Amino acid sequence: MAKTTEPLLVVERAGPVATVTFNDPERLNAMTEAMGEAIVGAVKQLEAETEVAAVVLTGAGRAFSAGGDLDMIDRMGAAGRADAGGAARSANREFMRRFYGLYLSLRDLPQPTIAAVNGHAIGAGCCVALACDIRIAADEARLGVNFARLGIHPGMAATWTLPRLVGPALAAELLYTGKLVPGPEAARIGMVNRSLPGDEVLGEALGIARAIGECAPLAVRGTKRSLARTAVASLDEQLDTEAHEQSLCYESADLAEGLRAVREKRTPAFRGH
């Protein structure tokens, strides 16, 4: 197993699965600018690795991520109050827009992403989990978008991802109140796929990732592209997308291998071409 360590991030690869771990447990994996830059670096590495079929995201220690860097927020708040409506507002807006992009670059990965929410995922930390394709949470974890309780508007795509997962009315309740929900409730409302005892979360996420790795890579990546379009596409547009993606698969050796495997009653050996 190859292993690459960055100051605030650990990337490990095992067969078709890459695991990315937030690695600042003493600060409960607070989302700093430096950690975001490390995420961008990991994304650039992994998006080029065709042998990686799925990416699992988790946190070191007892939290997935307790949210944004409070010192950073405090500094920006002080600058905003000192120059209300002036240049500081523009600077803060531009910084935050760039900051969101660092973490949400995870959405650019061609591989499916699975959040193994091993512990609390709060504020921006919860938002990063929501931005993944699949989420498995610990029963004892608490998840929530508590921005309003800090006196700040939600960010990191909270107002975009959460309504799409739990529905607009429930998303409004969670965003307006800043309520934190335990893993089982998060599963019940669709915020996560399911919750499990904490010591089973990473193993479950890795199992899903390996199952993805058993499927045809071209088909899986095409499916991720199609799913990304559903938020803005009409039915006819989505049918056009599916027809296009299937036409690409018809040209692949993987489809021929999949059909042979069905007829021969064996496991297919996909090559990603």
Tens digits of residue pLDDT in 46-85:
999 999 999 999 999 999 999 989 999 999 999 999 998 8
Rounded to an integer, what distance in angstroms lies between the CA atom of residue 30 and that of residue 24? 7
pLDDT of residue 273: 87
Rounded to an integer, what distance in angstroms lies between the CA atom of residue 124 and that of residue 126? 5
pLDDT of residue 128: 98
156: phi then psi, degrees, rounded to nearest 5: 55, 35
* Contact yes or no for 79/42 (Cβ under 8 A): no
Residue 228 clears pLDDT 90, i.e. is over it? yes
pLDDT of residue 3: 46
| Type of residue at 151 | G
Residue 215 clears pLDDT 90, i.e. is over it? yes
Q: Do β-strands 194-196 and 142-144 pair in parallel, antiparallel, or remain unpaired?
A: unpaired
Q: What is the residue whose two structure tokens read 């088909």?
A: 219
Of the candidates 54, 195, 208, the one whose C-alpha atom is nearest the C-alpha of residue 117 is: 195
Residue 231 clears pLDDT 70, i.e. is over it? yes
Task: List pLDDT tens digits, range 26-35.
Answer: 999 999 999 9
Residue 1 clears pLDDT 90, i.e. is over it? no
The H or E element spanning position 255 is helix 253-264
Q: Report the Cα 113 to chain-centroid distance in Å.
A: 6
pLDDT of residue 7: 79
Q: What is the residue whose two structure tokens read 């929410």?
A: 117
**Both tokens assigned to 6:** 């960055």
pLDDT band at residue 38 using 50, 70 and 90 as cut-offs: very high
DSSP helix/strand/coil, 259: helix
Residue 4 clears pLDDT 70, i.e. is over it? no
Task: List pLDDT tens digits, range 114-155.
Answer: 999 999 999 999 999 999 999 999 999 999 999 999 999 999
Strand segments (E) across 70-219: 113-117, 120-122, 134-138, 142-144, 181-182, 194-196
Ramachandran assignment for 13, one of left (phi > 0), alpha (psi -120 to 50 degrees), beta (any other): beta
pLDDT of residue 6: 54
Question: How confident is the model over 182-205, as a mean pLDDT?
Answer: 98
**Both tokens assigned to 195:** 């919750």
